[in-house]
Amino acid sequence: MKRAIALCLAAAALMPAPVSAHHSFAMFDARQTLTVKASVTEFQWANPHCWIELDVSAGQGAHKGFTHIALEANALSYLRAGGWNARTLKPGDQVTVEYHPMRDGTPAGQLLTLRLANGTLLKGQ
């Protein structure tokens, strides 16, 4: 009997455990929140996360001198529930975004909020 229990325990230990398929957000510096006014250059409405690419005026400074940044937003289902759709943004739209920058200083980040030119506030997370 002890041998059967030992074999069952060994087999259970060798079975793959379920793991989270989601990536970490450790690459973003959650201690910093930057705000910039920008022009949309591309909006990727796709899973697993939407992306927004922006041109930022060089005089703002908050984005560490970069004039083009890419921001990761949440998944389609979350954004759709918050009022987003595939036509929410188009190239040339003027927006104000709040985001957590990358820890390593690359010109990207995690989108927190996006304000459209008409004043509508959308959450990115």
For the chain, domain boundaries: 28-123
Q: What is the pLDDT of residue 25?
A: 72
Q: What is the pLDDT of residue 26?
A: 81
CB-based contact 90:13 (threshold 8 Å): no
Report pLDDT digits (tens) over 84-125.
Answer: 999 999 999 999 999 999 999 889 999 999 999 999 999 987
- Mean pLDDT, the chain, as a whole number? 83
CA–CA distances in Å: residue 39 to residues 43, 62, 112, 117: 11, 15, 17, 10
User: Please, which residues bridge with residue 123 across strands?
Assistant: 113
Q: What percent of the chain is helix, strand and coil (3-state, nearest 5)?
A: 20, 35, 45
Report pLDDT digits (tens) over 72-90.
Answer: 999 999 999 999 999 999 9
Instruction: Choose between 47 and 59: higher pLDDT.
Output: 47
pLDDT band of residue 18 (cuts 50, 70, 90) is very low
Domain spanning 28-123, CATH class:
mainly beta
| 64, pLDDT greater than 80 | no
| Whole-angstrom distance, CA of residue 74 vs CA of residue 72 | 7
Amino acid identity for residue 99 in this structure: Y
Q: What is the pLDDT of residue 124?
A: 85
End-to-end CA gap in the chain: 53
Instruction: Choose between 72 and 12: higher pLDDT.
Output: 72
| Whole-angstrom distance, CA of residue 18 vs CA of residue 37 | 42
Across the range 3-12, mean pLDDT stands at 54
**100's tokens:** 């957590």
Q: Helix, strand, or coil here: 80?
A: helix
